[in-house]
Amino acid sequence: MGLSRLNGLSDDELVEELKEISRKCRVEIIKMVYRAQAGHPGGSLSEIDLLTALYAINMNVNPNDTKWEDRDRFVLSKGHASPGMYSILAEMGFITHEDLESYRVLGGVCQGHVDMKHTPGVDFSAGSLGMGLSFGLGCSFAAKFDGSPRNCYVMLGDGEIQEGAVWEAMMAARHHELGNLKVILDCNRIQNDDFVESQMRLFNIPEKWSSFGWNVKEIDGHDMYQIIEGMRWFDENNDLPSVLIANTVKGKGVSYMENNPKFHGAAPNEEQYSKALLELGEVI
Amino acid sequence: MSNSAASRDGYGHALISMSEDPKLVVLEADLGKSTKSCWFREKFPERTISCGIGEQNMMLVAAGLASSGYKPFASTFAIFTERAFEQVRNGIARPNLPVHICGSHGGTHTGTDGSSAQSIEDLAIYRTLPNMTVMHPCDDYSTQQLTMKLLSHDSPSYTRTARNKTPRIYELNDSRLEIGKGVLLKSGSDVAIIACGVMVSKSIEAAEKLSEMGIDAAVVDMHTLKPLDESLVYELASKCKGIVTVEDHSVIGGLGGAVAEYLSESKPTILRRVGVRDRFGESGQAEEMLQLLNISTKDIIKSALDIVKME
């Protein structure tokens, strides 16, 4: 499962490898958004450490057989944070690094929001918030009916769970005891207009989710040791649906984007672009 | 055997008839007893998914199943499918996943529950979605047969059924029934009546009365609104002086809308649309609703006479 070249590494070595993959993905995210002069860097940068570990450790997929029936599914419900997903798909070999240049370009492999009809490795066409968990439930049901060990992973944003239908899905997943459904909540605390706290407070998310009867674990979504532990926790909990609540920083890795609502959906200018690449250790 | 039945029963029978397909999955949102998916649940509980009172979730669970090779049939009241319109639009129609939605209790014919339950816009809104097939069969047998054809239909669909009994129009397994092909139930050369759903039997009744007046009216069951059987509409428009469309649905965007759109671009023809005129219904018996909203047999006759008497 995951990236075979990482098998057999010690945790310290694994953490270093994952950090480097994440760093490279962050560079690609910035490049994509800069080239398109549009897109969503903030949520891509907050999710990328989690996506890197998910693909490198858990996901049982084959880039050479993208429609393989027994592959694990991944649903990026916060589908606007597509640069993050495209960068890891390129790293995994589902798409090429040249494909990343087609982000938001007519006829491109990389649509503005993730789209299963355009991009190999994308299992759901998202973009409208609050839909991915229900879709993931359907994938989990299918795996159960097939008697397959495959899992369905879904990533949600914290602002996204303001959508009421997410809670319908939470209830249904527990009711049907879909232990093969694994959710990562990217809690970056910022939504389109402003901080989540100012738009619609969510209060105690772990407590709320626990009260729906799920397995719940909270981690620092940028501490690679904790992330690895969370990914292993997914593997160990298959009785009920599980959610990994990851506290993250929107715009993580680029100083002026961090915790800045402005970079939810805005591209850097030329000066900002150079600064971002410099901060990410990329030689221009 | 009774010569009347509710079209929703046809949906229930179809699900059971298709049960041999191991990929068939049935989804409900607390209205299985009404839509008649309950019959399938009784026999195959392991392949029936209860979504509680949560239509938005149901539509996307169905989409996830379809993406994994299953053939999901999801039902609730027509009106409540509309709550999940965006889920259907973005999660089903856009990725072209073969999810088959059945909206029962459609139209004002559903009766005494009143306007909150009387969907008069479902056919219109689903027609606007690319990839969607939209049907409204007229009796239980045709509903059963057309629903069974959806099993091999590789794109999403919406089928409206009705709550109340109406006269049977077809025999079981009528070879004329194909998705996307209207059925000429009665030929005629003066005026053509194109109807769907519960209004088909009313249209036959109207044609019989018109015949007594010496007017030869054709009657078509246009059970599929999308794709519209354009060649049949063209043929009728070529042969007859004008066309009357009849539906228990808004005149905006439904069968009348579809026929008007086609004719105005391809074969301008005199047209009268019998349907709900941009208003909501209220509580009342089915027949009372048709009278109140001017979509009864006499309204069909009046529209046909309008056309025939035109200079």
At which residue do the structure tokens 């105005």 appear? B264
User: Is B218 part of a structural domain of the chain?
Assistant: yes
Residue A257, classed as helix, strand or coil, is: coil
User: Are residue B262 and residue B141 in the same domain, yes or no?
Assistant: no
CATH code of the domain containing B87: 3.40.50.970
Kindly list the distances between the CA atom of residue B207 and the CA atoms of B218, B262, B289, B304, in Å, as whole numbers in the listed order.
Answer: 7, 24, 21, 9
Structure confidence at residue A284 (pLDDT) = 65
Whether chain B has a CB inside 8 Å of the CB on A212: the answer is no
User: Is B141 part of a structural domain of the chain?
Assistant: yes
Chain-chain contact of B68 with A146 (C-beta, under 8 angstroms): yes
The angle formed by the CA atoms of residues A31, A36 and A37, to the nearest 5 degrees, is 95
Directed axis angle between helix A132-146 and helix B55-67, to 10°? 50
Kindly list the distances between the CA atom of residue B307 and the CA atoms of B23, B191, B242, B310, in Å, as whole numbers in the listed order.
Answer: 50, 7, 6, 5
User: Are residue B19 and residue B127 in the same domain, yes or no?
Assistant: yes
Chain B residues with beta carbon closer than 8 angstroms to that of A169: 57, 60-61
What ipTM score was computed for the predicted complex, to two decimals?
A: 0.95
User: Are residue B84 and residue B28 in the same domain, yes or no?
Assistant: yes
Domain boundaries, chain A: 10-62+69-279
Residue B165, classed as helix, strand or coil, is: strand
Q: Which of B28, B46, B55, B230 is catalytic?
A: B55
Structure confidence at residue A280 (pLDDT) = 98
Residue B226's nearest CA partner among B142, B125, B138 is B125
β-strands B270-276, B242-250 pairing: parallel
Among chain B residues, CA nearest to A167: B57
In B, what residues contact A, Cβ < 8 A? Answer: 25, 47, 49-52, 54, 56-70, 72, 86-87, 90-91, 94-96
β-strands B165-167, A242-247 pairing: unpaired
CA distance A275 to A4: 34
User: Is B172 part of a structural domain of the chain?
Assistant: no
Chain-chain contact of A136 with B56 (C-beta, under 8 angstroms): no
Among chain B residues, CA nearest to A117: B95
Chain B residues with beta carbon closer than 8 angstroms to that of A135: 60-61, 63-64, 67, 91
User: Are residue B156 and residue B39 in the same domain, yes or no?
Assistant: yes
CB A70 within 8 A of CB A150: yes
Q: What is the DSSP letter of B198?
A: T
User: Are residue B83 and residue B220 in the same domain, yes or no?
Assistant: no
Assigned CATH topology for domain A10-62+69-279: Rossmann fold (3.40.50)
User: Is B277 part of a structural domain of the chain?
Assistant: yes
Structure confidence at residue A238 (pLDDT) = 97
User: Are residue B197 and residue B131 in the same domain, yes or no?
Assistant: no
CA distance B118 to B79: 7
Buried b / exposed e across A30-56, counting CB within 10 Å, b at 16+?
bbbbbbbeebbbbbbbbbbbbbbbbbb
User: Is B175 part of a structural domain of the chain?
Assistant: no
CB A77 within 8 A of CB A133: yes
CA distance A163 to B192: 48
CA distance A54 to A219: 14
Structure confidence at residue A283 (pLDDT) = 75
Chain B residues with beta carbon closer than 8 angstroms to that of A124: 64, 67, 91, 95
Nearest Cα of chain A lies from the Cα of B90 at a distance, in angstroms, of 7
Instruction: Tell me the β-bridge partners of A76.
Output: A155
Domain of residue B116, residue span: 4-167
CA distance A180 to A193: 34
Query: In what helix (H) or strand (E) does residue A184 lie, and over which residues does it extend?
Result: strand A181-187
Residue-by-residue DSSP string for A91-103: HHTSS-TTGGGGT
User: Is B178 part of a structural domain of the chain?
Assistant: no
User: Are residue B116 and residue B223 in the same domain, yes or no?
Assistant: no
CB A188 within 8 A of CB A261: no
CATH code of the domain containing B198: 3.40.50.920
CA distance B268 to B262: 9
Q: Which residues of chain B have pLDDT under 70?
A: 1-2
Structure confidence at residue B51 (pLDDT) = 98
User: Are residue B98 and residue B129 in the same domain, yes or no?
Assistant: yes
Structurally, how many domains does chain B consist of?
2
CA distance A193 to B51: 33
User: Are residue B20 and residue B158 in the same domain, yes or no?
Assistant: yes
Mean pLDDT by 10 residues, chain A (284 residues): 87 97 98 98 98 97 96 98 98 97 97 97 97 98 98 98 98 98 98 97 98 98 98 97 98 98 97 98 82
